[in-house]
C-alpha cells in the first residue's frame, strides 16, 4: 500500500523529464490509484481477519538498533489506521486526477506529480508507522514535500518565502516533538507504540503524571506546528501560494491533520496527563474561534479557506482535548472530504478566472460555472453544519456535544465552539455569495474567457461532493430525532476505549444542565443565524457590511490585518533575530572572525610565506644542488649528534 | 699480501664525492656538471663495493649493479636532453637554463 506512490515518485522523478504529460499523469495517478486499491484491500482483509479489533503489526526489517533503542520498519494497522489510510488515499487519488487537468498548462508537470506521489508515500508512512521514530520519518517527509510544493512556483519570491516560512515555523513544533519522543524513551525505554501504550495503560492512577504531562505538552507542540494551531498557525495562510491541488491535499485534507492523528494515536498518554489534554482542548477551541474571526474579513478566496481550515483543525483538537477522540477523528475524515472539495472548487474558479482570487472581483459565477457552483455549494453546506445534508453537521455536532459533556468538557468550550460554528456558517456563505451569486463584478476581459473546467477536473469534484454528503451518515447521533447509534464512535472504541475509560475514572462527576437535544439545537441555531445573516448581508442589502466596517473601523482593521500577529512575530522574533544576525553574527563573527581572521588570514599568511620562500626557487640548478647537499649534511650531522 | 684497509677506500670515496659535489655546484658547463654527477655516483659505488668486501656479503655489489644501470639510463637521457638544449639555445651555460623560475 505504501510503495506504489514511492515507485511512482521515483519513476517520475528520474525519468519524468523525458515522459510526455500523459505518461507522467498515468504513472502519478497510477501510483495513487494502486495505493488506494491496496488500502481498500487491506481494510477488507483486516475487517475479515480474526485478530481484529486488535492491531495488526508486521515488521519488515530492523531499521535502528542502538543500545536499548530498537525501531523496526513495521506496519501498525488498527481501526484508526484503517480510517486514516482510506481517507488519505481516496482524497489523494481524486486530487491526483484533478491535478491532471489543473496542472496541464503549468510548467513542471512531472515535478509536480513526483512531489505529490512522494508526499502520499510519506503520509502513508506516517499513519501506518508502528513507532514514534518511524512516524517522525513520515512527519518530516510530509513537511519536506509541503515545503517543495508550496514553493512550487519557485520563481515567485512570495512562493519560495512562504515555503521557507512553513518549513521554519513547523520546525519549532518538530523540536517539541523530538524532545517529547526523547522524554518518552527516557521514561519507558521503548518507542514502539504497542510497548509504550501497554506500559502507560498499566500505570496506576496518577503515576508518572508530571513526566507524562511534559511529554503530552511537547507532543502537542509538535502537533500544533504541523496542524497550524495557535501560536504556530501563521505559516498555513501563506502556504496558499502553492498550486491549489496542493492546498487541497496537503494543507486541508491530509498533512495538517497529522497533528490530530498524533494526539489521537497517543490518546492513552494524554489520558494519563489530563492537564496536558485540557491544554489541547483550550488551544484548539481558541484557535477555532480566532481563525474563524479572521476568516470573516478575508477577501482572498483561498486565504479565507485557509483560515477556515485552521479553525476546523481547532475543532478537531477541541474534540480530542475534551476526551472524545473519535469525534475528532470523525471530523478529520469529513473535513478531509469537504475542505479538499472547497479548495478544488476554488481552484476551478481560479482556473476559469485566470488566476484571480479576489472575491470582490467575482460574483454571479453560477451561470458560467454550473458544476463548480453546485459542488462548492454542497461543500459549504457541509462545513457550515446544516443538518442532515452536510457531513460537517454530524461530526461538528459530536465535537460540540463532547465539549460540553465529554470527560474534559467545559460549558465555556461549548459556547465558544458554538459561536465559532455560527461564524463558520457566516463566512462560508459570505464566500459563496460573493463568488457565485449577486451581480457580476468580473472584469470584462476575464469575463470573456470565463469557462467551466474540463471533465478531468469536474469529475473529482462531483465524487468529493458525494462523499461530503454521505460521509456524515456513517454515524448518526443518538439524540432525538435521529436515534442513531454513533456507529463511528463504537467502531473506534477498541482504539480509544482505554483512554476514554481512564479519563472517565478520573472525573466521575458530570456537569449536567443542558440535554443533548438542546446542545444540538443551539449549534443548529448558530449555524442558521450565520447562514441567514450572510445571505441577507451579501445578497439582499449589500451595503450593510460596508456600513458596519465603517462604524467599527478599528475592529475591522484588526481583523483584516489578522490581529497583527505576523507583524507581532516580526517585531518579537524576526526583527531581533535579524538585528543580532546582521550586527553581531554577520559583522563581528562572520566578517570579523571567520572572513578576516580565518579565511583571509589563512590565505594571506600562506601567500606571504610563499613570498619569502619563493626566493629559494631561483631556477638556478646549482643552487638547488647546494640546498640538497646542505640538507644531506644537516641530516648526517643530526644523525651523528643523536647517536 | 697486505689488504688495503677499509678506511682508505672510504677516504677515497669521500674525496671523489666531494669533488663531484663541488664540481656540480660551481662549474657552469652542463657537460662538466653531468660528469660530476657520474663522479658522485661512482664514489658511492666505491663505498658500496668496499663495504661489500669488508662485510663479506653480496648486498653492496647488487646495489652497485643497480646504480650502474640507472647511471647508464640517466646518461642516455641526460645527454639527449643536453643536445636538445644546445640546439635550442646555442649555449651550454647552466645559468641560462632558468625558465622554471617563477
Average pLDDT over residues B80-89: 88
Nearest to A182 by CA among A158, A140, A216, A215: A215
* Helix/strand/coil percent split, chain B, to 5: 80, 0, 20
Which range has highest mean pLDDT (A476-490, A546-560, B36-50)? Answer: B36-50
Task: Check if the interface score ipTM surpasses 0.85.
Answer: no
Q: Which of B18, B19, B23, B24 to mutate to test the interface with A (most CBs of A within 10 A)?
A: B24
Question: Between B21, B94, B97, which is nearest A629 by CB?
Answer: B21
Taking an 8 Å cut-off on Cβ atoms, the answer to whether A621 and B26 are in contact is no
Chain B neighbors of A632, CB-CB under 8 A: none
Q: Which of B23, B33, B39, B98 to mutate to test the interface with A (most CBs of A within 10 A)?
A: B98
Residue A509 confidence (pLDDT) above 60: no
Residue A15 confidence (pLDDT) above 70: no
Chain A nearest-CA residue for B29 = A622
What pLDDT sits at residue A606? 86
Interatomic CA distance for residues A468 and A465, integer angstroms? 5
What pLDDT sits at residue A426? 87
Residue that wins the pLDDT comparison between A7 and B31:
B31
Tell me the residue length of chain B: 102
Average pLDDT over residues B76-87: 90
Taking an 8 Å cut-off on Cβ atoms, the answer to whether B101 and A618 are in contact is yes
Number of C-beta neighbours around residue A369 at 10 A = 24
Residue A208 confidence (pLDDT) above 80: no
SS3 call for A470: helix
Q: Is B3 on the interface with A (CB under 8 A)?
A: no
Taking an 8 Å cut-off on Cβ atoms, the answer to whether A622 and B33 are in contact is yes
The neighbouring-strand residues paired with A129 are: A75
Chain A neighbors of B25, CB-CB under 8 A: 622, 625-626, 629
Chain A neighbors of B97, CB-CB under 8 A: 621
| pLDDT tens-digit readout, A335-351 | 888 888 888 888 888 88
Interatomic CA distance for residues A122 and A403, integer angstroms? 32
Interatomic CA distance for residues A283 and A31, integer angstroms? 37
Confidence of residue B47 (pLDDT cuts 50, 70, 90): very high
Q: Is B31 on the interface with A (CB under 8 A)?
A: no
For chain A, list residues whose CB is within 8 angstroms of any CB belonging to chain B.
614, 617-622, 625-626, 629
Interatomic CA distance for residues A251 and A227, integer angstroms? 9
Nearest-Å Rg of the Cα atoms of chain B is 17
User: Which single residue is written with the C-alpha cell 451579501?
Assistant: A538
Residue A181: enclosing H or E segment and its boundaries? helix A157-188
| pLDDT tens-digit readout, A397-407 | 888 888 887 77
Confidence of residue A18 (pLDDT cuts 50, 70, 90): low
Residue that wins the pLDDT comparison between A31 and A553:
A31
Contact A224, A232 (CB under 8 A): yes
Interatomic CA distance for residues A539 and A127, integer angstroms? 44
Average confidence score pLDDT of chain B: 87
Question: Between B24, B26, B98, which is nearest A619 by CB?
Answer: B98
| pLDDT tens-digit readout, A305-318 | 888 888 888 888 88
Average pLDDT over residues A349-355: 79
What pLDDT sits at residue A350? 82
Chain A neighbors of B36, CB-CB under 8 A: none
What pLDDT sits at residue A508? 52
Chain B nearest-CA residue for A618 = B101
Residue that wins the pLDDT comparison between A551 and B79:
B79
Q: How far is CA A376 from CA A102, A251, A433, A442, in A?
A: 17, 18, 11, 19
Confidence of residue B39 (pLDDT cuts 50, 70, 90): very high
What pLDDT sits at residue A43? 82
Number of C-beta neighbours around residue A14 at 10 A = 11
Taking an 8 Å cut-off on Cβ atoms, the answer to whether B24 and A617 are in contact is no
Average pLDDT over residues A358-374: 79
Largest CA distance in chain B: 60
Residues whose CB falls within 8 Å of the CB of residue A205, separated by 6 or more in sequence, listed in order? A505, A506
| pLDDT tens-digit readout, A428-450 | 888 888 888 777 777 776 677 77
Q: Is B96 on the interface with A (CB under 8 A)?
A: no
Average confidence score pLDDT of chain A: 80
pTM of the model: 0.74
Amino acid at each position: 500500500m505504501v510503495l506504489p506512490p514511492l515507485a511512482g515518485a521515483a519513476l517520475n522523478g528520474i525519468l519524468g523529464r523525458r515522459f510526455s504529460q500523459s505518461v507522467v499523469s498515468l504513472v502519478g495517478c497510477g501510483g495513487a490509484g494502486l495505493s488506494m486499491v491496496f488500502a481498500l484491500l487491506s481494510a477488507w482483509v483486516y475487517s475479515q481477519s480474526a485478530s481484529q479489533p486488535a492491531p495488526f503489526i508486521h515488521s519488515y526489517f530492523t531499521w535502528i538498533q542502538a543500545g536499548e533503542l530498537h525501531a523496526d520498519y513495521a506496519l501498525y494497522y488498527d481501526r484508526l489506521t484503517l480510517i486514516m489510510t482510506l481517507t488519505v488515499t481516496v482524497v489523494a487519488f481524486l486530487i491526483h486526477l484533478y491535478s491532471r487537468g489543473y496542472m496541464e498548462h503549468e510548467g513542471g508537470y512531472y515535478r509536480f506529480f513526483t512531489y505529490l506521489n512522494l508526499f502520499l508515500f510519506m503520509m502513508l508512512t506516517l499513519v501506518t508507522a508502528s513507532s514514534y521514530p518511524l512516524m517522525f520519518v513520515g512527519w518530516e517527509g510530509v513537511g519536506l514535500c509541503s515545503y517543495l510544493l508550496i514553493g512550487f512556483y519557485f520563481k515567485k519570491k512570495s512562493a519560495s518565502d512562504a515555503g521557507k516560512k512553513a518549513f521554519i515555523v513547523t520546525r519549532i513544533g518538530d523540536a517539541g516533538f523530538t524532545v517529547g519522543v526523547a522524554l518518552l524513551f527516557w521514561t519507558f525505554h521503548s518507542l514502539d507504540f504497542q510497548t509504550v501504550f501497554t506500559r502507560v495503560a498499566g500505570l496506576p492512577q496518577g503515576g508518572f503524571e508530571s513526566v507524562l504531562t511534559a511529554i503530552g505538552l511537547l507532543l502537542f507542540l509538535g502537533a500544533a506546528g504541523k496542524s497550524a494551531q495557535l501560536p504556530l498557525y501563521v505559516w498555513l495562510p501563506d502556504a496558499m501560494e502553492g498550486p491549489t491541488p496542493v492546498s487541497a491535499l496537503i494543507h486541508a485534507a491530509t498533512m495538517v491533520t497529522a497533528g490530530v492523528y498524533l494526539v489521537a494515536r497517543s490518546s492513552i498518554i494524554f489520558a494519563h496527563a489530563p492537564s496536558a489534554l485540557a491544554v489541547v482542548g483550550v488551544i484548539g477551541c481558541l484557535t477555532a474561534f480566532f481563525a474563524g474571526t479572521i476568516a470573516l474579513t478575508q477577501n482572498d478566496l483561498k486565504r479565507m479557506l485557509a483560515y477556515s481550515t485552521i479553525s476546523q483543525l481547532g475543532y478537531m483538537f477541541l474534540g480530542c482535548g475534551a476526551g472524545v477522540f473519535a469525534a475528532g477523528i470523525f471530523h478529520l475524515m469529513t473535513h478531509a472530504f469537504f475542505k479538499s472539495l472547497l479548495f478544488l472548487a476554488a481552484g476551478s474558479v481560479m482556473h476559469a478566472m485566470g488566476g484571480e482570487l479576489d472575491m470582490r472581483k467575482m460574483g454571479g459565477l453560477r451561470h458560467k460555472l454550473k458544476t463548480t457552483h453546485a459542488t462548492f455549494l454542497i461543500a459549504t453546506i457541509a462545513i457550515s453544519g446544516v443538518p442532515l445534508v452536510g457531513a460537517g453537521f454530524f461530526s461538528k455536532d459530536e465535537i460540540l456535544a463532547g465539549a460540553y459533556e465529554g470527560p474534559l468538557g467545559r460549558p465555556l468550550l461549548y459556547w465558544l465552539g458554538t459561536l465559532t460554528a455560527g461564524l463558520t456558517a457566516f463566512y462560508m456563505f459570505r464566500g459563496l455569495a460573493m463568488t457565485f451569486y449577486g451581480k457580476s463584478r468580473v472584469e470584462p476581459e476575464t469575463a470573456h474567457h470565463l469557462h467551466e473546467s474540463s471533465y478531468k477536473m469536474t469529475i473529482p469534484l462531483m465524487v468529493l461532493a458525494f462523499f461530503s454528503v454521505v460521509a456524515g451518515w456513517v454515524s448518526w447521533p443518538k439524540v432525538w430525532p435521529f436515534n442513531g447509534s454513533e456507529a463511528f464512535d463504537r467502531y473506534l472504541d477498541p482504539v480509544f476505549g482505554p483512554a476514554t475509560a481512564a479519563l472517565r475514572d478520573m472525573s466521575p462527576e458530570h456537569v449536567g444542565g443542558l440535554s443533548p437535544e438542546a446542545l444540538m439545537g443551539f449549534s443548529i441555531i448558530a449555524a442558521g443565524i450565520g447562514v441567514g445573516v450572510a445571505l441577507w448581508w451579501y445578497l439582499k442589502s449589500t451595503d450593510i457590511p460596508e456600513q458596519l466596517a465603517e462604524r467599527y473601523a478599528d475592529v475591522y482593521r484588526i481583523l483584516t490585518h489578522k490581529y497583527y500577529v505576523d507583524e507581532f512575530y516580526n517585531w518579537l522574533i524576526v526583527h531581533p533575530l535579524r538585528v543580532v544576525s546582521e550586527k553581531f553574527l554577520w559583522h563581528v563573527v562572520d566578517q570579523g572572525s571567520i572572513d578576516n581572521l580565518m579565511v583571509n588570514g589563512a590565505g594571506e599568511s600562506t601567500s606571504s610565506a610563499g613570498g619569502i620562500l619563493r626566493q629559494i626557487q631561483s631556477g638556478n640548478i646549482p643552487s638547488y644542488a647546494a640546498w640538497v647537499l646542505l640538507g644531506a649534511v644537516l641530516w648526517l650531522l643530526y644523525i651523528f649528534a643523536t647517536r | 699480501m697486505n689488504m688495503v684497509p677499509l678506511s682508505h677506500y672510504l677516504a677515497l670515496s669521500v674525496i671523489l664525492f666531494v669533488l663531484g659535489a663541488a664540481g656540480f655546484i660551481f662549474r657552469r658547463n652542463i657537460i662538466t656538471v653531468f660528469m660530476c654527477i657520474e663522479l658522485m655516483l661512482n664514489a658511492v659505488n666505491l663505498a658500496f663495493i668496499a663495504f661489500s668486501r669488508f662485510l663479506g656479503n653480496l648486498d653492496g655489489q647488487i646495489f652497485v649493479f643497480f646504480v650502474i644501470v640507472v647511471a647508464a639510463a640517466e646518461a642516455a637521457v641526460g645527454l639527449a636532453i643536453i643536445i636538445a638544449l644546445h640546439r635550442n639555445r646555442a649555449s651550454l651555460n647552466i645559468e641560462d637554463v632558468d625558465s622554471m623560475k617563477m
